[in-house]
């Protein structure tokens, strides 16, 4: 029998579990064609250095009993290959490749599905396994590492339950800032294009940008041709400036492409980079391995055609591809319909309901240290900060107000010009036997790294007292913050929706609210209330804080009292949450804090903005007031009503920093009140 050997044995790293401690050991298998018999190619797997006997036995378990030990015949390989890929094999090279592929894929699935069984989620499919193996040239161990990196990146950045037809992801996809061209480079690689001038960090939420990028890259690697031939990434900086650049996003995208996405990165072309880009690029390049750094080229626009033919480039980069970035990505939207993402279940099983990425308030671009903030305020002065607020105020709300403006709900709005957005409104549970709608003028608002940390709402009206307490009960609220008096300047600001005296009670339908005690502090009152649900026969305690030092007009002259009040609220929320047990261990979402003034946007927005900014300052030493307020207004429209309130946020942060010893005395900053 003539012996035929492959020109180059193909090495493959797999994993094996032995012993009670299930320690993972790596081994290699060399697949080679050994002999030809009666027109049938015989394929054998030979264990090499580092292989365990169990590893070799795992491959041999697939062989038919009537064949030479350890040698599955080509008919069996053909049948199994056809069952997965739907195509037949004929040549020696194809047989060699398919045997290699089958063994690697089975090993990969065996290891990954041990993990999925452990967490009671659906097993990974063959096609998904091949996608990860292709990206690592069927090196099983590296493919498993890639799988877990991909899963962890998606979990960390909130790339889960993507709904491309819903906002805000739909708008991000259709912005055209990132897309996949419908042409390939000469090697067959897909071409991805990021257009920097279309990216506006202060108007975008970073994790939504990453969601769009993941979604579109996934569409690209659905193609077997892309899996096989890889990806070329073009970062088009032509016509962009520093405000379009986001260093943190750039780091995440490169980390994704180099080690957390199932695609072979062929090269990265950075086109039209301005001079200032050298500094951030030098920072990013430190994170890259030499092998990845070698694939990055910084080019002038005129040099792009030296790396890709004109047939592969859009017109603005000297190519022939005609495309309208505003409409190009429409073609990608329908592909998600009816095709659930297999990774959603895998990622979601380990996610607590509220994670960093859920919130719009996460560290973003252009954050300032406290010293930079002090210099910024000193340079711009009060007039400049007021102008900055006008830039925010001029932005129209993104979303609709249909429910607030419905004729049947108008009487539930304290002010006709302060509706709440449909996409973030709190919905009451409709109950049988009751005629009330699900509407209340209240909005979920994110906190720093916390989804739905607050409910911003108006001061309750007499006809909405019951709705207010229903919301408190249904959302399991533990703390209520009130930043207004009942009357100010001779005008009614809020109704008396809770019993003021100890042991007094008020009934609101099946909810009875009892006053258990009042503490009078220097600048606020703290009342302990008990809610008794007579239908469910349950009782809960809620702490009510009323801030009393906000003047009838304008803002407080000093932020000290509000900072003390904020700390008291934070402390009570932590105490109340810890008493829940499970929530303190991350097993459930932390209940929101209800915050209201009169309209639920002015002082409410100021309180929440200050809480968010100080939380980030305490954790990272940086913050961005403009970004915080801009993002807050996407959830509670019109938050922070006046430039005085906006400036007060800056001033309060500086006062806090001075009290904490972060900066020297800021009397020069506070003296700007007269400027």
Active site residues: 597
Q: Please provide residue 192's backbone torsions phi and psi, each rounded to the nearest 5 degrees.
A: -105, 140
Number of Cβ within a 10 Å radius of residue 426: 22
Q: Hey, what are 316's tokens?
A: 């603005």
Query: Locate tokens 């934070």: which residue?
Result: 570
Q: How do beta strands 505-508 and 511-520 pair?
A: antiparallel
Cβ neighbours of residue 571 closer than 8 Å, sequence gap 6 or more: none
Q: Is 425 buried (19+), middle (13-18) or exposed (0-12) by CB count in 10 A?
A: buried
b (16+ CB within 10 A) / e for 127-146 = ebbbbbbbbbebbbbbbbeb
- Cis before 168? omega within 30: yes
Kindly state the DSSP code that residue 56 receives in the 8-state scheme.
H
Check: CB of residue 272 under 8 Å from CB of residue 301.
yes
Kindly state the DSSP code that residue 591 receives in the 8-state scheme.
P
Check: CB of residue 616 under 8 Å from CB of residue 370.
no
Rounded CA-CA distance 455/600 in Å is 9
Q: How far is CA 304 from the centre of its chain?
A: 33
**What are the angstrom distances between the C-alpha of 33 and each of 54, 494, 566?**
22, 84, 73
Q: Hey, what are 576's tokens?
A: 């109340």
Rounded CA-CA distance 449/444 in Å is 14
Query: Locate tokens 């492409």: which residue?
Result: 257
Q: How far is CA 368 from the centre of its chain?
A: 22
Partners of residue 180 on adjacent β-strands: 192
Q: Hey, what are 249's tokens?
A: 């996003």
């Amino acid at each position: 029998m003539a012996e035929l050997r492959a020109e180059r044995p193909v090495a493959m790293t797999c994993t094996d579990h032995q012993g009670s401690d299930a320690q993972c050991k790596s081994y290699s298998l060399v697949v080679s064609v050994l002999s030809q018999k009666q027109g049938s190619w015989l394929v054998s797997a030979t264990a090499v250095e580092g292989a365990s006997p169990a590893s070799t036995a795992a491959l041999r378990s697939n062989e038919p009993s009537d064949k030479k030990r350890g040698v599955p015949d080509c008919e069996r390989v053909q049948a199994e290959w056809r069952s997965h890929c739907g195509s037949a094999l004929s040549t020696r090279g194809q047989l060699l490749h398919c045997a290699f592929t089958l063994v690697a894929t089975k090993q990969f699935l065996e290891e990954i599905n041990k993990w999925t069984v452990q967490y009671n989620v659906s097993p990974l499919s063959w096609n998904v396994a091949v996608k990860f193996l292709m990206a690592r040239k069927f090196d099983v161990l590296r493919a498993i590492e890639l799988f877990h990196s991909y899963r962890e990146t998606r979990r960390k950045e909130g790339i889960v339950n993507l709904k491309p037809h819903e906002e805000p992801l739909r708008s991000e996809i259709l912005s055209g800032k990132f897309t996949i061209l419908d042409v390939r480079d000469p090697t067959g690689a897909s071409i991805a294009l990021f257009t920097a001038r279309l990216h506006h960090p202060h108007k975008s939420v970073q994790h939504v940008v990453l969601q769009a990028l993941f979604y579109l890259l996934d569409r690209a690697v659905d193609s077997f041709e892309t899996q096989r031939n890889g990806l070329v990434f073009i970062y088009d900086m032509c016509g962009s400036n520093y405000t379009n650049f986001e260093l943190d996003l750039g780091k995440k995208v490169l980390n994704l492409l180099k080690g957390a996405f199932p695609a072979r990165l062929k090269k990265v072309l950075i086109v039209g980079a301005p001079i200032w880009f050298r500094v951030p690029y030098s920072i990013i390049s430190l994170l890259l391995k030499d092998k990845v750094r070698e694939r990055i080229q910084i080019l002038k626009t005129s040099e792009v055609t030296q790396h890709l033919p004109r047939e592969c480039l859009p017109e603005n980069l000297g190519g022939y591809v005609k495309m309208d970035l505003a409409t190009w990505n429409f073609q990608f939207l329908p592909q998600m319909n009816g095709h659930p993402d297999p990774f959603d279940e895998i990622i979601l099983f380990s996610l607590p309901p509220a994670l960093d990425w859920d919130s719009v308030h996460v560290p973003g671009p252009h954050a300032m240290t406290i010293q930079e903030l002090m210099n910024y305020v000193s340079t711009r002065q009060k007039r400049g900060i007021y102008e900055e607020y006008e830039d925010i105020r001029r932005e129209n709300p993104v979303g609709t107000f249909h429910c607030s403006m419905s004729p049947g709900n108008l009487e539930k709005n304290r002010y006709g010009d302060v509706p709440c957005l449909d996409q973030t409104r709190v919905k009451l549970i409709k109950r049988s036997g009751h005629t009330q709608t699900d509407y209340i003028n209240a909005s979920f608002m994110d906190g720093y790294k916390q989804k739905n940390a607050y409910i911003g709402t108006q001061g309750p009206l007499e006809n909405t007292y019951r709705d207010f307490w229903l919301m408190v009960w249904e959302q399991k609220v533990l703390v209520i913050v009130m930043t207004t008096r009942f009357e100010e300047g001779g005008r009614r600001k809020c109704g008396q929706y809770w019993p003021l005296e100890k042991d007094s009670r008020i009934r609101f339908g099946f909810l009875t609210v009892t006053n258990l005690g009042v503490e009078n502090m220097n600048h606020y009152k703290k009342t302990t209330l008990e809610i008794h649900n007579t239908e469910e026969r349950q009782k809960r305690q809620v702490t009510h804080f009323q801030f009393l030092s906000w003047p009838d007009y304008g803002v407080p002259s000093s932020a000290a009292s509000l900072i003390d009040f904020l700390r008291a609220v934070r402390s009570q929320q932590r105490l109340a949450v810890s008493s829940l047990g499970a929530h303190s261990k991350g097993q459930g979402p932390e209940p929101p804090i209800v915050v209201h003034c009169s309209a639920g946007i002015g002082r409410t927005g100021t309180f929440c903005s200050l809480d968010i900014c100080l939380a980030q300052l305490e954790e990272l030493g940086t913050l961005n007031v403009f970004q915080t307020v801009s993002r807050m207004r996407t959830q509670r429209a019109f938050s922070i009503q006046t430039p005085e309130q906006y400036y007060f946020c800056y001033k309060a942060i500086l006062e806090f920093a001075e009290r904490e010893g972060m900066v020297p005395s800021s009397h020069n900053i506070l003296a700007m009140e007269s400027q």
